[in-house]
A and B are shown apart, each in its own frame.
Chain A
């Protein structure tokens, strides 16, 4: 014990080693899961504790849905571009603008319907309890309103009245 500097260095090396070993061992499962499933599906697999077969079914559904979803997004984007062009040259709501708005709304409705259908399909691909949990979670994340009422600047009593009606 005659070399305090050597002991100090050994202590620092021990601290770094302890940190490295624990950090690497506890984060390895996350890195492996992300590498295997990709960031979007890694959460599904971990959160809903899916086994290999269940996860494979969910993965196939997810890949199919992504193609459909991308197509809807492309069509909705095209409608938005058409609407922008019409709005740039109009001073009123013309029948063409109305038609594009209707088309865009129809596409959004179809998109939402397809999304809901996908959520149900995914929930059925999971064990029942996890499927129910998945549905509840997705509903809260995607379909629940971000505010309690569509009426802006209403007092709580007025909102209550609106709800009662």
Chain B
């Protein structure tokens, strides 16, 4: 009966080693076997991802690993919230400036018919 855990593992290793040493492959190699092997290696090399792709994959993997950690996820969420609010602040400032400029031009044009500049 074959047992998963031999009583003397070193004996088994020794026997296996001897068996492998004695094993000889006598079947002939198929024709152009070596050429086929090299062709497969070349194909595998060509199919391997390029440098930037590998870098991208590593980056994604790094990000994913970071997001799996609570501290990374909190940092990411905080950063995006900060980016959103800073952009909102900046855009609302621009909105205000543009509105005031347009209102000023509208007022000048409404009281001064000779006004030609709309961007005062």
Contact = CB atoms under 8 A, between A and B. Distances in A.
Contacts of B115: 141-142
Interface string A3-16: 01001101110111
A161 B82 CA distance: 60
Contacts of A15: 80-81, 83-84, 87
Interface of B: 63-64, 67-70, 72-73, 76-77, 79-85, 87-89, 91-93, 95-96, 99-100, 102-104, 106-115, 120
Interface of A: 1-2, 4, 7-8, 10-12, 14-23, 26-27, 30, 34, 39-44, 46-47, 62, 65-66, 69, 72-73, 111, 115, 118-119, 138, 141-142
Given A14-B77, A141-B112, 19 more contacts: A1-B72, A7-B67, A11-B81, A15-B84, A17-B84, A18-B82, A19-B88, A20-B88, A23-B88, A30-B96, A34-B103, A39-B102, A40-B107, A40-B109, A43-B107, A62-B110, A69-B111, A73-B113, A141-B108
29 contacts: A1-B67, A7-B67, A7-B76, A15-B81, A16-B84, A18-B88, A19-B85, A19-B87, A20-B88, A22-B88, A23-B92, A26-B96, A30-B96, A30-B99, A39-B103, A40-B106, A40-B107, A40-B110, A42-B99, A43-B103, A46-B103, A47-B104, A62-B110, A65-B111, A72-B113, A115-B112, A119-B111, A142-B108, A142-B111
